[in-house]
Amino acid sequence: MFAIGLQTEGMFPYPEKLDGGRYTLWLRDTQVTSWASIDFVPDAEEFEVYQSGPRELWTELTAAHAWWDDQGHPDFERFGLTVDPDGTVRAWLDSPEHPVPAVG
């Protein structure tokens, strides 16, 4: 979630717990213009995703997760932040020369 949060500005997840180990994962943006949901059912192999609005939040989340996966699942200690004199904040992986890409 940390790496995904760095890449998906203004997206918030909310898990809604249901009976039997099931849950719905809701995603929304801070503008309250886009949302996505997916219902998790234990032992299921496929899940249906619904999303609406100008941002495709599930698509953003999966792109951010794919990047994290491609980097070898880095832990917190591999990430850093640089704050420029003008206040611009940049997240990076391993060194400032490897910025964390933004999606969405």
Domain boundaries, the chain: 2-71
pLDDT per position as a tens digit, 28-57? 999 999 999 999 999 999 999 999 999 999
- Per DSSP (E only), the strands in the chain are 11-17, 23-29, 35-40, 49-52, 79-83, 89-93
**Which residues does 68 contact at the CB level (< 8 Å), separation at least 6?**
3, 4, 74
List the structure tokens of 30. Answer: 């801070």
Cα(4)–Cα(26) distance, integer angstroms: 15
Task: Please give the model's pTM, rounded to 2 decimal places.
Answer: 0.86
Q: Enumerate residue ranges in the chain where pLDDT < 50.
A: none
**Residue 104: Cβ within 10 Å count:** 17
